[in-house]
Amino acid sequence: EMRDAPRRQTALASTPLDLIIRPRRNRKAEWTRRLVRENVLTTDDLIWPLFVVDGTNTRTPVASMPGVDRLTVDQAVRDAERAMKLNIPCIALFPYTEPSLRDETGSEALNPNNLVCQSVRAIKKEFPEIGLLCDVALDPFTSHGHDGLIEDGRILNDETVAVLVQQALVQAEAGCDVIAPSDMMDGRIGAIREALDDNGFVDVQIMSYAAKYASAFYGPFRDAIGSAKTLTGDKRTYQMDSANSDEALREVELDIAEGADMVMVKPGMPYLDIVRRVKDTFAMPTFVYQVSGEYAMIAGAANNGWIDGERAMMESLLGFKRAGADGILTYFAPKAAEKLKAEG
């Protein structure tokens, strides 16, 4: 026969719990919350990705990324000025390539006067102090939307790396400070490092997209660069499987051995565990990309009044710091920097 469960003593005001440790004491007021705060987000942590498009004096909204525009080069220079004023250290550039310029091999990637190179020169001319990061991958330039060369439906590794090396050199020649290979081909970091060094670009840094997952969260980015409709199949033969974590460490280890100066985990919020493992294991400058779909979720929900957009933005960014990231690529960069500035 079952006995009655023992009754819990009710904690009435007159009978306080006999607690020595009360974690709430440290949270009782803002001054003490500030005092015990472990992590802090500053503008120094931000990299702002911009989309550039051909034309003049035009900003075209990206429908799936509320608040983000495609910018003609002159407008990208204006945003670089905004970044300077907000003390954002670095900008990342992504092109929307005219469909007529896209082909099987992504040859426009090697055009020293393509949109990315034009933007780099225009921004560096007016604001030489701001850091500029350029993606290395062929997807903005290929008719099929893949990051590499294709043969019989397969993405070729070594042949692609040879082209990526040329792309990196073209961008370095234009004045890019940080080369950021986002293609996930094997061996590309070593090949790019060697080519940069052989061509006098010893100071050009490499931030590798080291642990980049095949993710549904890149959708709005593919709208922004115009590769969403053209992409045939998916990127699972080169980007990582979301189920894997040890594999991320092997990828990061290889990229460091091949010469990466900084490593990145991408996407961000669903992969905070990877950020933490990478930081703890390698103690390298570790970056995280809060990708387009993450941005869209927060901005979209905020626009619908479903969440407090500003607070969700700051909470998500602080979460990356807590996970161990040294810096964050985020479309929220200017908004976050403005908020940080206002807070003093």
Binding residues for Mg(2+): 251
Q: CB nearer to ligand PBG: give 212 or 279.
A: 212
H or E stretch including 46?
strand 46-53
Minimum CB distance to ligand PBG, residue 80 (Å): 19
Tokens representing 98 are 């005219």
Catalytic residue among 124, 235, 266, 321: 266
Catalytic residue among 124, 212, 235, 279: 212
Q: CB nearer to ligand PBG: give 177 or 294.
A: 294
Helix axes 115-126, 158-174, angle to 10 degrees: 30
Which position among 133, 163, 291, 337 is part of the footprint of ligand PBG (CB under 6 A)?
Answer: 291
Instruction: Measure the CA–CA gap between 149 and 262, rounded to whole angstroms.
Output: 26
Minimum CB distance to ligand PBG, residue 222 (Å): 6
Which residues, 6 or more positions from 230, have their beta carbon under 8 angstroms from its beta carbon?
102, 143, 144, 145
| Site for ligand PBG, residues 133 to 162, rule: CB under 6 A | 135, 137, 139, 147
DSSP E strands, the chain: 46-53, 59-61, 69-72, 90-95, 131-136, 150-151, 154-155, 178-181, 205-212, 262-266, 286-290, 327-330
By rule CB under 6 A, what string of x and - marks binding of each residue 66-85 to ligand PBG? --------------------
By rule CB under 6 A, what string of x and - marks binding of each residue 16-45 to ligand PBG? ------------------------------
Which position among 218, 238, 271, 287 is part of the footprint of ligand PBG (CB under 6 A)?
Answer: 218
The question of whether 229 is a catalytic residue gets the answer no
- Contact indicator for 321, 43 with CB cutoff of 8 Å: no
Residue of closest CB approach to ligand PBG? 221
What region, left, alpha or beta, does residue 232 occupy, with left being phi > 0 and alpha being psi -120 to 50 degrees? beta
Would strands 150-151 and 69-72 be described as parallel, antiparallel, or unpaired? unpaired
Minimum CB distance to ligand PBG, residue 226 (Å): 12
Is 340 a binder of ligand PBG (CB under 6 A)? Answer: no
- Contact segment (CB under 6 A) with ligand PBG among 132-140, 158-166, 270-278, 335-343 equals 132-140
Minimum CB distance to ligand PBG, residue 294 (Å): 8
The question of whether 235 is a catalytic residue gets the answer no
Which residues, 6 or more positions from 68, have their beta carbon under 8 angstroms from its beta carbon?
51, 61, 62, 224, 295, 331
Which SS3 state, helix, strand or coil, does residue 194 take? helix
Catalytic positions are 212, 266
